[in-house]
Amino acid sequence: MNPTAQLSGNVHFPLPPLDSETPTSARTGRTKRGLADTTKRWPAGVITVAIDLRDQKSKALVIDAIREWAHNTPALQFRVVDGREGDIRISDDPGIKRNWSAIGTDAKNVPLSEPTMHLERLDDSREFRANALHEFGHALGLLHEHQNPEHDINWDIDAVYEGYTSEHFPKELVYSQFLKLPVGDHLLVTRYDSKSIMHYDFPDIVTLDGRGVGANTHLSEGDKAIVRKLYKLPT
Ligand SMILES: [Zn+2]
């Protein structure tokens, strides 16, 4: 959720292509909220999360964020270790840019020597923790909520491209991270939830009806519900 050059405020600096190359989906219930790729769901059991961060405060915030998700994933347990060896590997390497994560089990396709998630170091604890929650949601298989096919955002397409395209964030990435709506039989699509931690915040001016969305910093009830559904105990 870093500012871009063009827009002030908490504009989430979007993610590399790794984050959004998600096909497919099935529409199931309407009572829960969110968007997830069921083909990238982790099997029930223990996931090792390796944390390679430079300071204790960041580590504590990431562990706290993982714990918040873990309360809502009955089929998964998380074993958090220091270092770089794990199923999910979180780094704040300053040589790597932006906040991003592999989607769910796409992490298995990442070379073992590389992180599967990157978080930029921030002094603002609240924002850093929110970023960790968002990226860990991707690591569990969740997709962007503002790309939920049922969203009611009235994008001003020209303003979106004008506001977010930059040297480091090409137009194609703006499309794939903001506007593209995933489709397919393997998606778990539930009711649109503007309070989701998986939703970007954006200002009024990138919409035609002046309805921006503020920064979400905690899991919404919809976030909890969709991962409970995705990771319910095997029966
Ligand atoms: Zn994201």
Q: 123-154 burial, b if ≥16 CB within 10 A, otherwise e?
A: eeeebbbbbbbbbbbbbbbbbbbbbbeebebe
Which residues have CB less than 5 Å away from ligand 1 (the ion)? 15
How far apart, in whole angstroms, are the C-alpha atoms of residue 209 and residue 211?
A: 6
Q: What is the pLDDT at residue 145?
A: 96
Position 212 scores a pLDDT of: 94
What pLDDT does 24 receive?
Answer: 29
Residue 73 falls within a domain, yes or no? Answer: yes
Residue-level pLDDT at 16: 38
Task: Give distance in angstroms: CA of 198 to centre of ligand 1.
Answer: 6
List the pLDDT tens digit at each of the 235 positions of the chain: 433 334 433 344 443 333 433 322 333 333 446 899 999 999 999 999 999 999 999 999 999 999 999 999 999 999 999 999 999 999 999 999 889 999 999 999 999 999 999 999 999 999 999 999 999 999 999 999 999 999 999 999 999 999 999 888 899 999 999 999 998 989 999 899 999 999 999 999 999 999 999 999 999 999 999 999 999 998 7
Q: What is the pLDDT of residue 4?
A: 38
Number of structural domains (the chain) is 1
Q: Evaluate whether residue 8 is within a structural domain.
A: no
Is the residue at 127 inside a domain? yes
Distance from residue 235's CA to the centre of ligand 1 (Å): 31
The token pair that represents 121 in the structure block: 């170091």
**Do the domain assignments include residue 11?**
no
Assess if residue 97 is contained within a domain.
yes
CA of residue 220 relative to chain centroid, distance: 13
Domain boundaries, position 82: 17-230
Query: Does residue 1 lie in a domain region?
Result: no
User: CATH no. for residue 191?
Assistant: 3.40.390.10
The residues pairing with 88 across neighbouring beta strands, listed in sequence order, are 49
Classify residue 159 by its DSSP letter: H
Chain mean position to CA 77: 19
Q: Ligand 1 mean position to 200 CA, how many Å?
A: 8
> How many angstroms separate the alpha carbon of residue 31 from the centre of ligand 1?
23
